[in-house]
Structure 1
Amino acid sequence: MARIEVLLSDNEKSSLKHYCSSKGLTASCLIRSLLRQTSQEVANAGDFRELKTNKITVRLSSFNLSLLAQRAKSEGYVNQTNWASACILAKLHRSPILSVEEMQVLRESNRQLSAIGRNLNQIAKVLNIEFRESDKITKEMIEMLSHRIDKHKDKVYKLLDKNRTRWGVHHEPTTE
């Protein structure tokens, strides 16, 4: 392997060491990464090796691992691995990934929508059968149902908006 020497001032060397340690990299790894990013010839040099398993190991500094753990916990992920996988998938597919908690909220949302659908079917039956003498269905009941639907839509919208924001996925706000 070829070797390159670079003369740096004490200040530059100190800054480089500090930056590398904060990123959990060696100076050599940082320079290789910069070369790959700036030069297509270096990027396609054949250094890339395909994995033989579905497992990837990522090395992080203690500081960055601590940040990752805090973020995963604050966003409702069971562990750091799930958060890191979601982060990678969100970036790779450019779409948000839901946490376990968010999936539970959406399941509950679907249950509520099903209940609302059943209520609407019951209202339609009553109106079709007893239209003239229907004291069972009132304006207040329909307004209550409408309020429940609006509340539910807001809850789902906020969840999805929070998720898009977390992963940096840009979206156009709805007009509803």
Structure 2
Amino acid sequence: MPRVEARLTDSEKEAWTQFCKANGLRESDMLRRMIQRVSGRAVTSHDHEIETRSRKLTIRLSPTQERWLAQRAQEEGYPSRTSWVTAMVMAELYQEPVLTDSEVAVLRESNRELRAIGKNLNQITKVLNIEFRDSDKLKREAIEALAERIEQHKDQVASLLSRNMNRWRDDG
């Protein structure tokens, strides 16, 4: 990433440092914002994602609440309480699922299953197109089994997403 440098007197540097601290930003982040404002470039949400350091937020919990949080984080596959709380905040802010590694693995497996089902459907379509007179070779049970697999996977994905979006509620 390109750099910008400026020479400042000691008093200018001190004033700049104090100004940035008072606004809760690193000097480079403040300068970036000022350049964006002066140049007419609006600060977008993407610009905020570029920030290299995260900010610390402290919350107070009773010992019981802290144990509950630690237990929930562990049960749900999060490596730490902090990662669980961060995921909770992100899910609420964006109103979108924040998936754990195990949930992503479930979705990947679901996609593999759906891909296999798609191949089976292609084979069925080919048989119907080529041998439409002999379509009785295609057993009704096979189609019903395929439809059942599709329904199972739809239910599995819907359940995963529902659990994910409701994980932050009190009833867990």
Question: 3-state DSSP class of the match of 2:134?
Answer: coil
Structure 1 residues 139-164: Cα deviation after superposition (integer angstroms, max 9, x where no partner): 11111111111111111111111112
Structure 2 residue identity aligned to 1:106: L
TM-score between the two structures when normalised by the length of structure 1: 0.60
List gaps (5 residues or longer) in structure 1: 1-45, 169-176
Aligned equivalents of 1:159, 1:47: Cα separation in 2:
44
The equivalent residue for 1:67 is 68
**Pair 1:61–1:139, CA change in 2 (3 A):** closer
**Pair 1:47–1:94, CA change in 2 (3 A):** farther
Higher relative contact order (CA 8 A, sep 6+): 1
Give aligned-pair identity as a percent.
Answer: 48
TM-score between the two structures when normalised by the length of structure 2: 0.61
Aligned equivalents of 1:77, 1:147: Cα separation in 2:
33
**Pair 1:61–1:134, CA change in 2 (3 A):** closer
- Contact 1:68–1:80, Cα closer than 8 Å, also in 2: yes
Cα RMSD over matched residues? 2.5
The alpha carbon displacement at 1:48 in A equals 6.0
1:114-133 to 2 correspondences below 5 Å: 114-133=115-134
The equivalent residue for 1:56 is 56
| Larger helix fraction of residues | 2
The alpha carbon displacement at 1:136 in A equals 3.5
The alpha carbon displacement at 1:165 in A equals 1.3
Aligned equivalents of 1:90, 1:47: Cα separation in 2:
30
The equivalent residue for 1:105 is 106
The equivalent residue for 1:79 is 80
- Which is further off, 73-82 or 47-56? 47-56
The alpha carbon displacement at 1:80 in A equals 2.1
List gaps (5 residues or longer) in structure 2: 1-20, 30-52
- Which is further off, 146-155 or 130-139? 130-139
1:1-176 to 2 correspondences below 5 Å: 49-50=24-25, 53-56=53-56, 58=58, 60=60, 63=63, 64-167=65-168
Structure 1 residue identity aligned to 2:151: D
Structure 2 residue identity aligned to 1:163: N
**Pair 1:91–1:47, CA change in 2 (3 A):** farther
Question: 3-state DSSP class of the match of 2:56?
Answer: coil
The equivalent residue for 1:38 is none
Structure 1 residue identity aligned to 2:149: R
